[in-house]
A and B are shown apart, each in its own frame.
Chain A
Amino acid sequence: MNKLSTYFSPIIALTIIFIIWEFLVNLFSIQLYILPAPTDIFLSLNDNLKELLLATLNTLKITLFAFLIATLIAIGLAIIFSLSKILEISLYPITVIFQVTPVVAIAPLIIIWVGLDNAEIAILILSVIVAFFPVLANTNLGFRSVDKNLKELFLINRASKWQTLTKLNLPYATPYILTGMKTSIGLALIGTVVAEFVAGTGSSAGLSWIIIESGNRLDIAKLFSALVLLVLSGIFLFLLMSTIEYSILRRWHQSVKENES
């Protein structure tokens, strides 16, 4: 497989699917409020471009913000866990509780607590809850995997805890942390969208709001164009994280090196 075909094969496949879709919708005269043809979706996207882009930006803004907060909390917790065994065994199960509880189930609580007027904050909190665990679990794993001999080398040189953290544990765990972040950024988007569904009102007009609204008005073409933007947002976030990962690991890590050769 050369590079060109890796990029173009999916595009060609999608194009073919769109052509067949367009053809079938026309052939069976399917109603616009059931399944719009790709051209209808594109026209709707064009007509509502400003509203849709604003909503996308809103959703992306909260997603990125939640992702950053989740990452910081998760790495911070992992560091605390690595320093204190007793805190780790006491607090880790609690983080698991957060992880396994469906976000929809706790959304009403959070909304009541922060107040209905602060829907954006509620969405942010819910998205953080959804997103932080993969970073925590992976950072934790990274810290545990630190080479035994390197630890001994640091002990022989009487390294302080701070030196061991900054010069050994964190760099060693970096590939693990980045893997966690790659999962997390997708979860942050899902968390934001789900939270918007539950909490989204006029005060926070994200993509979910447009999906709900156009669903209610049977404007399925607009609903689809919101979906398209949602998908593009997800791809954008994943590519963003992959680029960050690549630029950090480019020089030294096996996973990147092997892909290059």
Chain B
Amino acid sequence: MLNFSNVHMKFDKDVLSDINLNIDSGEFVSILGPSGCGKSTLLRLASNLTKPTKGVVDYISYKDLSIGFVFQNPTLMPWRTVLENVTLPLELNKKKSSKEEALMWLERVGLKDKEKSYPNELSGGQMMRVSIARSLINGCNLLLLDEPFAALDEITRRKLEDDLLEIWEKEKFTVLFVTHSVSEAIYLSQRVLVLSSGPGKIVYEKNINQYNSKEEFRGSKEFQNINSEIFEKLKSGVNNE
């Protein structure tokens, strides 16, 4: 559904170069790369917030495109309650703000009893859950995530990863997930892309076989092998600088 062809992006210097990428509907794709390789720029291109210097970003055969964006910080509005934060996209799109729908999403991210709280009363993980609920409420079919779990502790992080996967398996929206954690990318996605830095280029692509049990997959030898394989590619991408 999302297609990058020959995309170049230049600010002061080249940020992204020669990006060709096709993401199918319902696919879960992760982008791995070192800091400053243009991962965030790639997401901003995918969300149409910025236009590429050269090349085309387009959405194939999607009339009702609805993009959800999850930022690195939860980016909640502190003056609104949890519930009001989640209904924001509906308000902005002048849809009838449905409390039931918001409550349903809050329940699905595991925050049902927190609807009346304010963001400053929540933990980091809970805030991120609100942010995810907000990104999905508007019938999202393309979810873009910019290192959403980077600031969370390992246990919270794994819990959130599993919850995100569970929702994705039911809803089958398309996911583009940016991270700098190799194991997170492998664990979550069907396809992992490795970006080099200065300028960002796709240097490696790896399809991940799906296991029935994700937990089993994380402990498997295969997981370890893919991990070290991708880590090597990532490392050589940095050395290109």
Contacts and interface: CB of A to CB of B under 8 A. Distances in A.
A171 B138 contact: no
A156 B93 contact: no
A223 to B, nearest CB: 46
Interface stretch (B72-80, B194-202, B208-216, B231-239): B72-80
Main DSSP-derived SS at the B contact region: loop
A150 B75 contact: yes
Main DSSP-derived SS at the A contact region: helix
B75 A147 contact: yes
Contacts of B71: 149, 152-153
A171 B75 contact: no
Contact of A156 (B47, B77, B78): B47
Contacts of A157: 88-89, 92-93, 138
B59 interface: no
B120 A149 contact: no
A228 B118 CA distance: 43
A167 B118 contact: no
B93 to A, nearest CB: 6
B180 to A, nearest CB: 18
A21 interface: no
A50 interface: no
B209 to A, nearest CB: 33
B46 to A, nearest CB: 11
A251 B118 contact: yes
Of B77, B91, B119, the most chain A CB neighbours within 10 A belong to: B77
A144 interface: no
B149 interface: no
Of A153, A158, A174, the most chain B CB neighbours within 10 A belong to: A153
Given A149-B73, A156-B67, A252 B88 contact: no
The 4 A-B residue pairs whose C-beta atoms are closest, nearest first, are A157-B92, A149-B75, A149-B71, A159-B92
Interface of B: 44, 47-49, 67, 69, 71, 73, 75, 77-80, 88-89, 91-93, 118-120, 138
